Chains A and B, each alone.
Chain A
């Protein structure tokens, strides 16, 4: 019979302690999220009603609903996605599938990493200079969405590139050996198997885009707009900016109102996430290797 040595026992003890430590850290991580959610639902929940969601703000934004801001946020996110998803995916496909390993590629990769690290207020200033002034879009949804799009482009590119790289190289070689071009291989083999990863990138982008305030407040979002946006050249309200305004700029706002706004904002992000996760699960069940 084998007997556990002193060392074995000590290692087992240590193993347990480390495990406990990591578990605690993981729990610690979800604690803030839980607290925020509970607080939001507890205080913001009662504020939410049909009229809160679908009416204009009244009385200097101390009463009424948030409809223009809600619609504005969705509008901004969608236009930003329309811009950044095709561009980001195309760039990632180039970097992962076509680009030779040379200084140009390395420079582009470096630029992407750096772009991801640029503070959002710097993106905002870039947006003002480039889209509002130079391209003369004015402060508009277009300018704001383009700014958001550029800001979140690295997220899409990196997530897409990673998921393309996760598709085994042997699949590509087998497909090339059949006489397929690179593009045929990408379209038939690589992209279909990378979709779920690309979706993750888009989820992340949506979450960031919907919550950002700085990049839109100088480029297209306004404190208060008495009408709904009709085209991308209009200004709009946005939930994130609205939340900022009623919490810090306006007096006489009922205490629970900002919680309601925050809850809606988080609700949008979470439901979009849930939707994409469901879609991913669906895709994953269909494809496997």
Chain B
């Protein structure tokens, strides 16, 4: 298991630090007059699972949206600050489509596209221009296997992805995100519509995936953050209250008492 890098600081170890996959500086998000996020700065390192917890309306989804520049589709969403992905400002990427291909996204509610299971997973490679059927076959099988769905659907790849059960669709969504071969995977409350057993299976999948990619996981289950995340950030009504090693936070070593209150469920 890769070592969770410590919070960068003056007393960071002298081993050459891997450059962060994602650096966010003074990020603020507004919807018209409503401020959704204020002055968030954080960095996410390679092969890290970075958890984000916080009650509803704390700006977690809005944060994720800005990372792959989905804010472009919301006409009244204003983003300020800097986001560097793989060392480059996300606004300086040659085009947003190339950027988005490097960032996989899993939404809270499973979205099986109204295509066959096969086509769901093959969509992203096809958008990139892969047309060779054998190559696609390989990608589809590999991604479905890694998303722990292959055994359940291998005999009916031609049936509609949108007709799978909710838990299966969520794994299909993950397979689809994996087919992008992303450097960064964004998960937004992925277990909200999924039963506990499937949730555990997906969590196991994520533990495997971290060897190959970096994961940012927004979750409404604090225990899920505890199980998976190396470091966790606590967002509260648009402020990033605290970022720390997950173990520290859950042991009560917090800078802001509100974080621990939230973790213990003592929150109003």
Interface residues of A in 135-193 (CB under 8 A from B): 170-171, 173-181, 184, 188-189, 192-193
Per a CB cutoff under 8 Å, which of B70, B75, B128, B160 touches A177?
B70
Question: A16 an interface residue at 8 Å Cβ cutoff?
Answer: no
Per a CB cutoff under 8 Å, which of A178, A181, A288 touches B176?
A178
Q: How far is the CA of A54 from the CA of B114 in the complex (A)?
A: 47
| B104, closest chain A residue (CB) | A177
Per a CB cutoff under 8 Å, which of A101, A175, A179 touches B101?
A179
Prevailing SS type, chain A contact patch: helix
Q: How large is the interface on A (under 10, 10 to 19, 20 to 34, 35 or more residues)?
A: 20 to 34
Interface residue stretch chosen among B105-113, B197-205, B226-234: B105-113
Check B97–A180 contact: CB distance below 8 A.
yes
| A169, closest chain B residue (CB) | B73
Q: How far is the CB of B13 from chain A (nearest CB, A)?
A: 36
Known: A288-B163, A289-B162. A178 touches B100 (CB 8 A): yes
Check B114–A171 contact: CB distance below 8 A.
yes
Total contacts A to B, CB within 8 angstroms?
69
| B72, closest chain A residue (CB) | A176
| A182, closest chain B residue (CB) | B73
| B112, closest chain A residue (CB) | A289
**A residues less than 8 Å from B173 (CB atoms):** 174
Q: How far is the CA of A171 from the CA of B111 in the complex (A)?
A: 7
| B111, closest chain A residue (CB) | A174
Per a CB cutoff under 8 Å, which of B73, B101, B112, B162 touches A178?
B101
Residue tally, chain B, CB below 8 Å to A: 29
Q: How far is the CB of B77 from chain A (nearest CB, A)?
A: 13
| B75, closest chain A residue (CB) | A100
| A181, closest chain B residue (CB) | B97
**A residues less than 8 Å from B114 (CB atoms):** 171, 189, 192-193, 287-289
Q: How far is the CA of A184 from the CA of B127 in the complex (A)?
A: 8
**B residues less than 8 Å from A179 (CB atoms):** 97-101, 124, 127-128, 180
Q: How far is the CB of A179 from chain B (nearest CB, A)?
A: 4
**Which B residues form the contact surface with A (CB < 8 A)?**
68, 70, 73, 75, 97-101, 103-105, 107, 109, 111-115, 123-124, 127-128, 160, 162-163, 173, 176, 180
User: Could you pull out 6 A-B pairs where Cβ atoms are within 8 angstroms?
Assistant: A100-B75, A178-B176, A179-B124, A192-B114, A287-B160, A288-B163
